Structure 1
Amino acid sequence: MRRLAAWAAAAVLGAAGLVVAVDPPAADAHGAEVFPGSRQYFCWVDGTTASGAIDPQNPACADAVAASGVTSLYNWFGNLDSNGAGRTEGYIPDGRICDGGGNGPYDFSAYNEPRTDWPTTHLTAGETYEFQHNNWAQHPGRFDVYVTTEGFDPLQPLGWDDLKLVDSVTDPPDTGGPGGTNYYYWDVTLPADRTGRHIVFTHWVRSDSAENFYSCSDVVFDGGDGEVTGLGDTDPDPDPTPSPDPVCPDEAPGTPGDVMAMDVTATGTHLMWGVAESGCVTGYDVIDPGTGAVIVATDGAPMVDLTGLEPETTYSASVRARNDSTGAVSATTDAVSFTTLAEDGDPDPDPTPDPSGACEVSYAASSWGAQHPGFTASVTVTNTSDAAVTDWTVAFDYPGGQVVDVPGWSASVSQDGTAVTATHPAWSSDVAPGASVTFGFNGAAAVAGEHPAPTGFTLNGSACTS
């Protein structure tokens, strides 16, 4: 795993010509369980070669790569849902627990596959082990550890009825800073009645964001002491490590995957992109597509946080890969565009009377590239009336033929023709005076790159300003 380099202190972004602060990698959390090793982590270890290519030897890992591609393994720390908000049963469906329901930017769906040949950690029931969760990036939060119940059938899809919560810890210590092989660690005493093959499911619930991370680790309770099998050899390996970083100074870097703008706020966003899957790549440059200037460079991390943006302003960014050994750079990706949200507390330049249920709406959407119809949208609705709004429902129209992927997050989203309706979740049904609710969803534009803003926002039938 390459260490994250020091980040630039500031950069110029977009036509607005703003100076934008670039946060260090600790600004957003990413990681996965490394003991007992998760499927995505062990398959990355199993598949990483000296050239930097991913070529799994384990049959389960090889089949997962054949089904989902290698991007998920290059981004093994990115099995996430930006709007998970600690939700489990009723939100993540049975059979999709290992990838958190598939709401993240990378395809980890193949890592739900029920089979018995995933890389496996050998343990002893009833013993206490130091669990370790990589802190590729750091954030406060809670780790919930589940173990499948005795009698679990590993050849059947994993369901919530199969899991029992055995440990929970908040803000455990770590071995060092983010961006490398450091990790959070804490002690977990495993159930004493388990025998044979089981799954350990670890759910990382951030306390400063709705973003959650998911790890399924295959274990066998056979009296072992942490040995690992299934990593391309027959000898148990108590301390698996990936192959060294590639050395290929003359190989041109491949083009990165699509850029995504996530967690858009009034003053910033989190950019992520697909790792270049060919050539020798030592780092990435985030580019201002208007000027061609480098906004910020990384030494291998496919992500960066931008802050200090202006509210309600549209920005664009693209990415290219570098080979620092030769100075070669790849072609640049399509640009992603995003619009920052309105800043809370800003005075309304055109105030209107506040009827019962009056509201204000901030809408932001980021495309998945100029040639890709997909987009991610976020809607924040503020109750500007003097009375609480109960059992809230937000409705609006999409004028450009956009199609919403239901059900969305932090609300149940549905669509009938051009009309879209978002209904409150069970855990957030009321909006107090002056309070806000935020929900989001993915969707597809009728024509890639064309995304007219929605119109006609209402909160429980009362018109909103937006």
Structure 2
Amino acid sequence: MRRLAASLAAAALAAVGIVAAVGQPAAAHGAEVFPGSRQYLCWVDAVTESGSLSPSNPACADALAAGGPNAYYNWFGNLDSHGAGRTEGYIPDGTICSGGDRGPYDFSAFNAPRTDWPTTHLTAGDTYEFQHNNWAEHPGRFDVYVTREGFDPTAPLGWDDLELIDSVTDPPDTGGPGGDNYYYWDVTLPADRTGRHIVFTHWVRSDSSENFYSCSDVAFDGGDGEVTGIGDGSGPVDPPEACPDQAPGTPLGELSATSVTATKAHIMWGAGQTGCVTGYDVIDTATGGILASTDGVPMVDVTGLEPETTYVVAVQARNDNTGEVSEPTGSVTFTTLAEDEGPGTDPDPGPGACTATFSTTNTWAGGYQGEIVVTAGDADVTGWQVAADGITTSTIWGGEIADGVITPAAWNGSLGAGQSTTVGFIGTGEAPAGGELACS
């Protein structure tokens, strides 16, 4: 199983001439590669040696026609920057595979309920090594859901269809960001499943509110990880012989700028292009200067920016073996925010400055998933705390817990008037009753 997923990833990247390096810092991005997610296996099915897209799978072809190429070239970017671990009640039924359509790329076509998506064949009750690509490394939790027995794959996927079967925090990985490296952990699948099902994997980062989403189509038919519905049956493509001397081609796919602060912006672009590419540069189109560089990873945090300033940036590919650079991509424009004092400067905003509401989003034997929504009152709040008596957890995101008190994470301590943030956690024991909690 591990060999299959790794070889598919390596082949897809090699087919478009990427030489990916490890150890490059960036925001976390990735997708399930075993069992292969829709966006990942459609990318493997579609990408050609020239970097163009030509899917043979009919569901993948329809998704490309409906949503365009950006979701393919950024198959690892199915995300919501403000997800914060939220599930039912936040992500609407029918949009679960795309995470509610709140990301920078259009993955909505991958919600289509149909039975001809690329499929991984499994055996119910067996234990498999799940693998989630890590375009970058960040701490966090992976929640694995499987549709319940009797699921209708021709109907839109809803939260009532899904059962949480596994949750793991900070699993090991096979190497640094980029390329075919991945996180891995063992998952024992339910023994009562038969026929076609969906495995939904929710990656919840613990160092920011950014979340990632993957729907993997599986068939419980006694298989052992075989994948059908991609390619022509001849197996992974061989790497082209042009590297390392071929000139780098312009990166494909649309640029995006997310997580913009007063001094930083996260820039993403497509991973496919022709030629030999060993790295990328983000350039300021006004000055021609290089704002940031990566070694093979198609995303980077651009830091050291000026507050309240508009930037227009593009990306060029490099071949460090020859010193050549490609023509730049199209540009993306963003404006940095005003400087503020940052979270935690006022640990006591005063009584009545905020409210907090607790609810349970999922339950199982011996545990539950809960969330607390903290909302500022009529004035801005900088530094809040919520009484969390009765809550026992070792896994929390969007905040920290100690001595029965929840305090903000590094990124959500400051709330504008009326603004909300969400703290999610995996609790042990019986879930407390929902309702208001003391917030100050």
Alignment TM-score, normalising by the size of structure 2: 0.71
CA apart distance, 1:298: 3.6
Check whether the contact 1:318–1:332 (CA below 8 A) recurs between aligned residues: no
Match of 1:259 among 235, 255, 258: 255
Deviations 1:101-141 (A, max 9, x none): 11111111111111111111111111111111111111000
Task: Give the whole-Å Cα distance in 2 for the aligned partners of 1:28 and 1:460.
Answer: 28
Deviations 1:181-219 (A, max 9, x none): 111111111001000000000000000010000000010
CA apart distance, 1:250: 7.2
Give the corresponding residue for 1:296: 292
Name the amino acid aligned to 2:333.
Answer: V
CA apart distance, 1:314: 1.6
CA apart distance, 1:345: 5.5
Give the corresponding residue for 2:88: 89
Give the corresponding residue for 2:395: none
Name the amino acid aligned to 1:85.
Answer: A
Count residues in correspondence: 354
Give the corresponding residue for 1:314: 309
Task: Give the whole-Å Cα distance in 2 for the aligned partners of 1:255 and 1:179.
Answer: 16
Check whether the contact 1:274–1:302 (CA below 8 A) recurs between aligned residues: yes
Give the corresponding residue for 1:386: 350
Distance 1:191 1:339, change over 3 A: same
Match of 1:344 among 337, 341, 346: 341
Name the amino acid aligned to 1:269.
Answer: A
Check whether the contact 1:46–1:232 (CA below 8 A) recurs between aligned residues: yes
Match of 1:459 among 405, 414, 417: 417
Distance 1:281 1:336, change over 3 A: farther
Give the corresponding residue for 2:195: 196
Name the amino acid aligned to 1:121.
Answer: T
Distance 1:119 1:182, change over 3 A: same
Q: Counterpart of 1:61 in 2: which secondary structure?
A: helix
Check whether the contact 1:49–1:243 (CA below 8 A) recurs between aligned residues: no
Distance 1:434 1:327, change over 3 A: closer
Give the corresponding residue for 2:375: 429
Give the corresponding residue for 1:305: 301
What is the aligned-residue identity percentage?
Answer: 59
Task: Give the whole-Å Cα distance in 1 for the aligned partners of 2:315 and 2:132.
Answer: 30
CA apart distance, 1:175: 1.0
Distance 1:345 1:182, change over 3 A: closer
Equivalent residues in 2 for 1:389-428, closer than 5 Å: 389-391=353-355, 427-428=373-374
Name the amino acid aligned to 1:265.
Answer: T
Check whether the contact 1:313–1:340 (CA below 8 A) recurs between aligned residues: yes
Check whether the contact 1:51–1:246 (CA below 8 A) recurs between aligned residues: no
CA apart distance, 1:35: 0.6
Name the amino acid aligned to 1:74.
Answer: Y
Deviates more, 1:316-325 or 1:30-39: 316-325
Distance 1:92 1:245, change over 3 A: farther
Q: Counterpart of 1:37 in 2: which secondary structure?
A: coil
Distance 1:288 1:118, change over 3 A: same
Equivalent residues in 2 for 1:136-285, closer than 5 Å: 136-233=135-232, 241=236, 244=239, 247=242, 253-254=249-250, 257-274=253-270, 280=275, 282=277, 283-285=279-281
Deviations 1:10-60 (A, max 9, x none): xxxxxxxxxxxxxx6433100010110101111111112222222111111
Task: Give the whole-Å Cα distance in 2 for the aligned partners of 1:241 and 1:290.
Answer: 42
Deviations 1:406-451 (A, max 9, x none): xxxxxxxxxxxxxxxxxxx9712356964269xxxxxxxxxxxxxx
Give the corresponding residue for 2:327: 330
Q: Counterpart of 2:202 in 1: which secondary structure?
A: strand
Distance 1:459 1:79, change over 3 A: closer
Unaligned runs of 5+ in 1: 7-23, 349-381, 393-424, 438-456, 462-466
Check whether the contact 2:348–2:384 (CA below 8 A) recurs between aligned residues: no
Check whether the contact 2:140–2:204 (CA below 8 A) recurs between aligned residues: yes
Distance 1:46 1:256, change over 3 A: closer
Task: Give the whole-Å Cα distance in 1 for the aligned partners of 2:116 and 2:282.
Answer: 39
Q: Counterpart of 2:302 in 1: which secondary structure?
A: strand
CA apart distance, 1:245: 5.6
Check whether the contact 1:203–1:215 (CA below 8 A) recurs between aligned residues: yes
Task: Give the whole-Å Cα distance in 1 for the aligned partners of 2:76 and 2:240.
Answer: 17
Check whether the contact 1:388–1:433 (CA below 8 A) recurs between aligned residues: no
Distance 1:188 1:242, change over 3 A: farther
Task: Give the whole-Å Cα distance in 1 for the aligned partners of 2:77 and 2:335.
Answer: 21
Name the amino acid aligned to 2:373.
Answer: W
1:125 partnered with 2:124: yes
Name the amino acid aligned to 1:272.
Answer: M
Check whether the contact 2:122–2:220 (CA below 8 A) recurs between aligned residues: yes
CA apart distance, 1:231: 1.2
Deviates more, 1:154-163 or 1:294-303: 294-303
CA apart distance, 1:322: 3.5
Distance 1:156 1:296, change over 3 A: same
Distance 1:119 1:391, change over 3 A: same
Task: Give the whole-Å Cα distance in 2 for the aligned partners of 1:25 and 1:336.
Answer: 24
Check whether the contact 2:381–2:417 (CA below 8 A) recurs between aligned residues: no
Deviations 1:319-360 (A, max 9, x none): 1434646936325533523214424259x9xxxxxxxxxxxx
Task: Give the whole-Å Cα distance in 1 for the aligned partners of 2:109 and 2:416.
Answer: 40
CA apart distance, 1:288: 1.9
Distance 1:243 1:384, change over 3 A: farther
Name the amino acid aligned to 1:435.
Answer: G
Name the amino acid aligned to 2:298.
Answer: P
Query: RMSD across aligned C-alpha pairs, in angstroms?
Result: 3.3
Unaligned runs of 5+ in 2: 1-12, 357-370, 386-414, 420-440
Check whether the contact 2:140–2:205 (CA below 8 A) recurs between aligned residues: yes
Task: Give the whole-Å Cα distance in 1 for the aligned partners of 2:210 and 2:416.
Answer: 27
Name the amino acid aligned to 2:314.
Answer: V
Task: Give the whole-Å Cα distance in 1 for the aligned partners of 2:139 and 2:248.
Answer: 39
